């Protein structure tokens, strides 16, 4: 097992990509802690993992609030004694261009998609620095690499996550901590459900994806397992694109 004995936090772990990552990590031997604002989906992920013989707990947490994150991280350390892996996956999407987005909507996206990466890293890094090792995987998006219509705040936040990943990698690679990111394409999730349920919209996504299908949470999960494992020890500050070929056009 590639993550045997590791302790991993997965934010936004109740649904979609986060759930897919959490389930695969558990299959690879990690003890899982899922963070998120809604207890019900988190508990569903925990049950899925336990049904397969894995170890998991849920800690309802708003990643945009550092004090909440800090308390949750301390709870993880108290229960498991360490934190080896952090996956910053929590995110929201609000479809607006720069003109139509309200200040509240802009702040909501930034506080979760960008600030949440910082709050969780800030809370977890002291534990990793103490151990002299750790893996941080930030879930960005191809919207952080190329433009998407009607997605001003989301594109801005995810682009910032890509560059924050590089910056953190420079700071912490010399101290034994690998920081990398994944840029998913269109993946089946609660976030994309409104678009995938419309035939015209789904066809548009498929037309832009050379592989000819919509991505699944496990597609991102396998990439995350690699970046969280010892196999990626020489990978630093990289953003791994997992998009079925969307961005090669």
From 168, 167, 169, 141, select the one nearest 155 (Cα to Cα). 141
Give every strand in the sheet of 31-36, ordered side by side: 55-60, 31-36, 7-11, 85-88, 134-139, 177-184, 239-242
Angle between helices 115-131 and 66-80 (to 10 degrees): 30
- The answer to whether 154 is a known catalytic residue is yes
CA angle 12, 145, 100 (to 5 degrees): 75
Give 56's strand partners. 32
- Within a 13 Å sphere around the CA of 22, how many CA atoms are in the beta-carbon half? 33
Question: Which of 154, 172, 222, 226 is an active site residue?
Answer: 154
Give 241's strand partners. 183
From 134, 210, 217, select the one nearest 182 (Cα to Cα). 217
Provide the annotated active-site residues.
154
């Amino acid at each position: 097992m590639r993550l045997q004995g590791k302790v991993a936090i997965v934010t936004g772990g109740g649904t979609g990509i986060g759930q897919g990552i959490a389930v695969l990590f558990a299959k690879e031997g990690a003890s899982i802690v899922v963070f998120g604002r809604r207890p019900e989906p988190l508990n569903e992920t925990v049950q899925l993992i336990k049904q397969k013989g894995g170890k998991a707990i849920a800690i309802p947490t708003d990643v945009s609030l550092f004090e909440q994150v800090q308390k949750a991280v301390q709870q993880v350390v108290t229960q498991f004694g360490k934190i080896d892996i952090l996956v910053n996956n929590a995110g929201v999407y609000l479809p607006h261009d720069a003109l139509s987005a309200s200040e509240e909507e802009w702040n909501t996206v930034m506080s979760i998609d960008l600030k949440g990466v910082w709050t969780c890293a800030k809370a977890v890094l002291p534990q990793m620095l103490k151990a002299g090792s750790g893996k941080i995987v930030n879930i960005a998006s191809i919207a952080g690499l190329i433009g998407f219509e009607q997605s001003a705040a989301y594109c801005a936040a995810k682009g910032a996550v890509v560059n924050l990943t590089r910056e953190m990698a420079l700071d912490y690679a010399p101290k034994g901590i690998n920081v990398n990111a994944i840029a998913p394409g269109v993946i089946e999730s609660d976030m994309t459900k409104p678009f995938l349920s419309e035939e015209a919209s789904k066809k548009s996504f498929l037309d832009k994806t050379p592989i000819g299908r919509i991505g699944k949470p496990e597609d991102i999960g396998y990439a995350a397992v690699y970046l969280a494992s010892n196999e990626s020890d020489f990978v630093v500050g990289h953003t791994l694109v997992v998009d079925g070929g969307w961005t090669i056009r």
